[in-house]
Amino acid sequence: MNISRTNKILFLTLLLQCCVLIAIFWPYKLGSTSLNTFADISTDSFESLYISDLNSNSTLIGFTNNQCVLLDAENYPCDSDKLNEFINLINKFDEGELISKSIDTHRTLKVHTDIHERYVEIQLNTGNIIKMYLGTTPRLRSTHFRLAESPNVYLSPNYTNSKFLAVANDWVETEYFDIDEDHVTSFIVNNQRGRNQFVKNESGDWLILDKSISDSLNQVKIKSLLTKITSISLRKPVGIERKPEFGYDNANAIVEIFGTDSNGVNFSYIVTVGAEYSGEDSNMNDVLFYVKATNKDYWILSPEYEVLEIAEVDYDYFLK
C-alpha cells in the first residue's frame, strides 16, 4: 500500500503531538518527592476541614465529642467514617510524585488560585493550617495537588476528586424524613391552593374527606404525592434556629401525617415546606426550598423536584 508524502507528514505530526502531550501529562518524578506535611494529621490532631469549589459550594467539618459535624450548619451530624477515611488518605499525600516545579502548569493542571477543582484547608489543634489545591485527575485514583505556599505540583496516591466533595450532602445521611407510607392512614395537605384531607378506606384506597369518594379520585396521583411526603432528602442542612427567611410564617405547604406503626403505636408528624432559598449561592437551575419535620431538630434545604408538587397540588389535580 502506497502512502503519500502528505499523509506521512500528517502522521508524523500527529505522532509528535502525542509525544508532547504524554511528556506534559504523564506523571513522572522530577527528583526528590519527599513531603513532610501530612503525616501529622490524625483524628487526635485534627480540628477542622474546609472544602470549597468554584461553583460556590463549601463545607466546614469538625469533630465534637468524637462525632463528625458540619460546623457551618450548627453542628449537624455527618459521617465520621468518611472523615476518618479522608484523614487516612490525606496522610499518604506525603508520598506524592513531583510532577512540576513551574507555575506555568498550574492552570493546565487546575491547581491555580483562580482555577482549581477544590480548595482545602485542614486546621490542626497545634495551630498549623495546611492549605492546598486539588486539580485534575489524569488517571484512576490519582489527583494533582499543590500546597498553597509552593509552586510544586504533585500527583497524589490513591485519591480521586470524586471522593470528597465540597457539598454538604456528600458528608451526611441524605435521607432527612423517611417513614413507611404503608403505615399512613391519613394526611392533610394545606398549601396556598387549599386544604385537602386524605383518608385511607378499608380497601386501601384514598378519599378526600368531605369532598370526594375514592372512586372519583386518581389513586395513582395520591399515592405518588404520599411517596414524596414520606421520603424527603436534603441537599444541605441549614440549622436549628428558625429564621425569617425560612418562610415558616407564610409556608408554601404544611402537611400533617397520621398513622400507626408496625408495633401498633400511633404517630403524627408535621412537615413544613417553607420559602424558596435565595441565598448568594442560589441557582435558577437548582432551586431549593427550606423544609422542617417535627421529628427533626434541623431545618434543611431540599430540591424543588421533591417538594414542589406538595406545594402546588389542588383538589382538581386528583380528580379522574
Q: 208 by DSSP, 3-state: which?
A: strand
* One domain, residues 123 and 87: yes
**Domain termination residue (choose one: 127, 142, 168):** 168
Q: Quote the radius of gyration of the chain (alpha carbons, Å).
A: 27
For residue 95, the number of C-alpha atoms closer than 13 Å in the C-beta half-sphere is: 9
**Which of 58-67, 209-218, 243-252 is predicted most confidently?**
243-252
Q: Judge if 200 and 255 occupy the same domain.
A: yes
Residue with cell string 470549597: 52
- Into how many domains does the chain fold? 2
**267 in a structural domain:** yes
CB 161 within 8 A of CB 46: no
For the chain, how are helix, strand and coil distributed in percent, rounded to 5?
25, 35, 40
Residue 202 in any domain: the answer is: yes
Categorize the per-residue pLDDT at 28 as very low, low, confident or very high, splitting at 50, 70 and 90. very low
- What DSSP string runs through 135-170? ----BTTB-EEEETT---EEE-SS--TTSS-SSGGG
With beta carbons less than 8 A apart as the criterion, state whether 293 and 177 touch.
yes
* 66 and 90 in a common domain: yes
Per the CB < 8 A criterion, the answer to whether 258 and 187 are in contact is yes
CB 207 within 8 A of CB 198: yes
Could you tell me if 182 and 295 lie in one domain?
yes
pLDDT digits (tens, 9 = 90+) for 124-163: 999 999 999 999 988 778 899 999 999 999 998 877 777 8
- Inside any domain, residue 88: yes
The CA distance from 65 to 71, in Å, is 13
Per-residue pLDDT tens over the stretch 48-61? 999 999 988 999 99
Residue where one domain finishes, among candidates 168, 186, 207: 168
Domain of 151, in residue numbers: 28-168
Question: Residue 67's beta-bridge partner residues?
Answer: 64
Report pTM: 0.82
Shared-domain flag, residues 183 and 215: yes
Cβ 300 vs Cβ 290: under 8 Å = yes
Cα–Cα dist 320/225, whole Å: 15
Query: Quick one: 314 and 180 in the same domain?
Result: yes
